[in-house]
Amino acid sequence: MVYAQEHILLRFNGHFGTTGGVADRWSVGVRLGQASLPTIYDAAKLQTLATAADAAARVFHAAAGTKAGTSCFFDQVAAACIGPSGRYVPPGALTILGPTGSSPGTGTPVLPWNSAMTLSLRTAISRGRGSNGRIYWPALAMPIVATTGRVLTADVVARMGAAKTFLDALNTAANSYFAGTRVIVASNVGAGINAAVTAVRSDDRIDSIERRENDQPPVYSSAALA
């Protein structure tokens, strides 16, 4: 199983807790590339790309529509060039880091730390490999309608507006790194497929990402039966 071409992997990293207190961590990956051309490694340009991606992520994370929550912080972006094997290229290349600093989300947290809203990345492929990817960004302050268990349409629309701005900014930064590069869905099944993302969508459901609560052991209570 291989990827179709060399591409850039951006990893957006954050934590839950307080500005300086890390109780748990979260991470989101986004890939940048092209369908038929490899995205060549350039350390200096990759640093510029990481800095631009960091700025875009901080705006998205703090946006009122994102509703990440004030106990959810974005910390730093990491960028790396990934080859068809899934390993760094060239061999020995280092991960490039963006600026550091913890930026809180917006809104009073009302949901568990494993809660996220899904951004579905759509491509021109209608179904199967390369047709869509997913971004699970935390949404701790997203209110739920008690009678339906769903999110208000207005809240979904607001989050989508912030997401479009975020992804458009990543496309601009990616194109500056290497002309024609943009957000992609990259499949490494079979011969691999890189497909450009042409649209983003979301629905009114909250997703659960259980691994985001791994750093905190559960606290059990029990009761003896008569």
Residues 3-31 have pLDDT tens digits of 999 999 999 999 999 988 888 999 999 99
Residue 185 has a pLDDT of 95
Beta-bridge mates of residue 208: 115
Residue 213 has a pLDDT of 66
Question: Measured between alpha carbons, how far is 214 from 75 in angstroms, rounded to an integer?
Answer: 19
3-state DSSP of 141-196 = CCCCCCCCCCCCHHHHHHHHHHHHHHHHHHHHHHHHHCCCCEEEEEECCCCCEEEE
For residue 162 the two structure tokens come to 């912030």
How far is residue 54 CA from its own chain's centroid? 12
Closest to 72 (Cα-Cα) out of 63, 81, 80: 63
The model's pTM is 0.93
Closest to 71 (Cα-Cα) out of 98, 111, 119: 111
- The vertex-122 CA angle with 118 and 124, nearest 5°, equals 170
Residue 190 has a pLDDT of 81
Quick count: other Cβ atoms within 10 Å of Cβ 130? Answer: 21
Q: Which long-range contacts (CB under 8 A, 24 or more apart) does 185-189 make?
A: 185/31, 185/121, 185/123, 185/130, 185/131, 185/132, 185/133, 186/3, 186/4, 186/7, 186/31, 186/33, 186/130, 186/133, 187/3, 187/129, 187/130, 188/1, 188/2, 188/3, 188/86, 189/1, 189/129
Question: Measured between alpha carbons, how far is 52 from 220 in angstroms, rounded to an integer?
Answer: 44
Per-10-residue mean pLDDT of the chain, 226 residues long, equals: 90 93 93 93 96 98 98 97 92 90 97 94 90 95 95 96 98 97 92 92 91 76 94
